[in-house]
Amino acid sequence: MSATMNASTEQAVADTVLTPRFYRTDFEAMDRLDMGPIRRQFDDLLEEFRADANRNFFERDPAFAQEIRELSPELKREFLDFLVSSITAEYSGCLLYGEIKKHATNPDVQTLFGYMARDEARHAGFINKSLRDFGVAVDLGFLQRTKKYTYFAPKFIFYATYLSEKIGYARYITMYRHLERHPDRRFHPIFRWFENWCNDEFRHGEAFALLMRADPRLLAGRNRLWIRFFLLAVYATMYVRDHSRHALHDAMGLDTDDYDYRVFHITSEISKQVFPFTLDVDRPAFRAGLARLSRLSRRASAAREERGVLGRLRGVLVQAGCGAASAFTFARLYAQPVVPNEIPAQVRLSPAW
């Protein structure tokens, strides 16, 4: 690999608060999943996966290369950061779902996770082709062997992955609809693929919604505390990460704050199908807390760039202070009131946003 390709792969391998992670789980517990309580909707969902509407979708058309524009250095850096983060998340899903399929003997589990691994592999491969255009493709084999894996119990996989898939849907469809109205702002052809692409994300989220609804204990009692944690963690991570990509959103004609809260509203509305509450994202204290997390993240990032012995020492102290302040801010956000929700009788198997 070239030095730039190494740098891109190194970014994907890195584990920080804001970067996507690779996961392992209790495969035996996953294999014991019982689809009985959700059988009718589960079978309907499997039929959608089997039909594979996107079978031939992830192919670049002749116009693709002609639409690639020269980007400013700042926009190029942020766009590549967006693509590398995206491919890491997609490939993480591909590996996790593939491992669950590999270890499963339950035919329902094998079939479901096999389909989802198939989809995620297509997504990762398609992104990597665009990275290759810039000479910075991620070495996925090296990434698989080298990146640290985090163990999550199945219920945590359900909460985190459900929200990851749903917020992915909301992000992609919001970008797609905006660029559909403003095609002059579409600075790269990959955005033309986001509509059908995000339908895969939506379908994957529905799978995890059904798995959670099959065991009502996952949505009640002390597990409500975990649901609140994952909702806040996913929203806060997106907000902080997006507010470090102003050039990317400016190029698309999107206000970062407005875009993020539109995504939060869509995700919250969707999550009512399975979670007993949503976060009050319009509460002034909630918005102020996310803005503070973003400021602290920027300050910590600047501190990491300090040079010299005294500069590095000062940077370490600043980062420690920012970390403590961020933890306190997160705790205050966690303690804010939520909006109760009555879970409906069935999940929605097709997007309406």
| CATH number of residue 12's parent domain | 1.10.620
d(CA 266, CA 235): 12
What pTM did the predictor assign?
Answer: 0.91
Q: Over 80: is that where the pLDDT of 18 sits?
A: no
Whole-number pLDDT of residue 350: 62
Range of the domain at 52: 3-57+71-279
d(CA 107, CA 177): 38
Whole-number pLDDT of residue 214: 94
d(CA 323, CA 303): 12
Residues 311 and 212 in one domain: no
Mean pLDDT along residues 287-303? 93
Check if the beta carbon of residue 44 is closer than 8 Å to that of residue 349.
yes
Check if the beta carbon of residue 189 is closer than 8 Å to that of residue 63.
yes
Domain count, the chain: 2
DSSP labels, 281-316: TT-HHHHHHHHHHHHHHHHHHHHHT--SHHHHHHHH
> pLDDT band at residue 14, thresholds of 50, 70 and 90?
low
- Give me the count of residues in the chain: 353
d(CA 313, CA 131): 36
Residue 217 lies in a domain: yes
Residues 48 and 191 in one domain: yes
Residue 348 lies in a domain: no
347: tokens are: 């999940």
Whole-number pLDDT of residue 17: 62
DSSP labels, 211-250: HHHTSGGGGSTTHHHHHHHHHHHHHHHHHHHHTT-HHHHH
Give the end of a domain, one of 254, 279, 304: 279
Residues 168 and 300 in one domain: no
Give the end of a domain, one of 228, 255, 279: 279
Residue 94 lies in a domain: yes
Mean residue pLDDT of the chain comes to 91
Residue 36 lies in a domain: yes
Residues 112 and 122 in one domain: yes
Residue 166 lies in a domain: yes
Whole-number pLDDT of residue 260: 97
Q: Higher model confidence: residue 243 or residue 315?
A: 243
d(CA 201, CA 190): 16
Whole-number pLDDT of residue 3: 42
> pLDDT band at residue 257, thresholds of 50, 70 and 90?
very high
